[in-house]
Amino acid sequence: MLNIGGRVKLNIWNFVYFIVSITLFSRFFDFLSSGNPSYLVVGSTGIVMILLIFSKSKHFIKLFMLTLIGLILLSVLIITYTYLFKPIYASSYAFYYAIGAILLYIICLALVYLREYPKLSEERLKD
C-alpha cells in the first residue's frame, strides 16, 4: 500500500478501479462515432468507478450520493430520448446495458441512503 500525501492510499483495488473506469470512459467515444446516446450512460459508469478510488475520503458518502442522483436523472433522460426519438438504437445491447446501469444506480443510492441516513441526520443535528 502506497500513501500519497496522507489522503489517498494506493492499493490493488484503486488500480483495478482506475483500469475499469478507463475502459468504461472509452464508451463515450463510441457515442461520437455511432451516434447512439446509450453509450453516454455506459460511459457514465466510469464516473462511479473513479469515485470508488476516493472511497476513504471524509466527504465520500455525500459526494457519492449527489453523483448518483445526478447520474440517475441524466441517464433516465438519455434513455427516454433514445426510446422516443431514436428508436433504431433502442434494440442495441448498449440500450439494455444503460437500463441496467440505471437500475444499479438506483439500488446503490438506496443502499447508501439506508446505511448512512442515521449518520447524516446526526451530523445535521450537531450543526
Give the containing element (helix H, strand E) for 22: helix 12-25
Is pLDDT above 60 for 4? no
Residue with cell 439506508: 114
Q: Is the dihedral of CA 110, 115, 117, 120 positive or negative?
A: negative
Distance CA 94, CA 100 (A): 10
pLDDT at 125: 65
- Whether the pTM exceeds 0.85: the reply is no
Q: How many domains does the chain have?
A: 1
Q: For the ranges 33-47, 84-98, 109-123, which has the lowest average pLDDT? A: 109-123
Mean pLDDT highest for which of 7-16, 81-90, 114-123?
81-90
Which residue segment(s) compose the domain that 94 sits in?
Answer: 2-126
Distance CA 16, CA 51 (A): 13
**pLDDT (tens digit per residue) in 11-40:** 787 788 888 888 888 887 888 888 888 888
In this structure, the number of other CB atoms found within 10 A of the CB of residue 112 comes to: 16
